[in-house]
Amino acid sequence: MLTADGIFLGVSTKPEYVTLRLANRHGLVTGATGTGKTVSLQVMAEGFSAAGVPVFAADIKG
In tens, the pLDDT along 16-59 reads 888 888 888 788 889 999 998 888 888 888 999 998 989 887 77
Q: Where are the beta strands (DSSP E) in the chain?
A: 2-3, 6-11, 15-18
Percent of the chain with pLDDT over 90: 16
The helix (H) or strand (E) run that includes residue 18 is strand 15-18
Q: Evaluate the CA torsion angle 27, 55, 7, 12 in order and state its sign.
A: negative
Mean confidence (pLDDT) of the chain? 86
Residues constituting the chain: 62
CA separation for the pair 20, 36 (Å, rounded)? 22
What pLDDT is stored for residue 10 in this prediction?
84
- For residue 62, name the pLDDT band (cuts at 50, 70, 90): low
DSSP alpha helix (H) spans, 1-62: 37-50
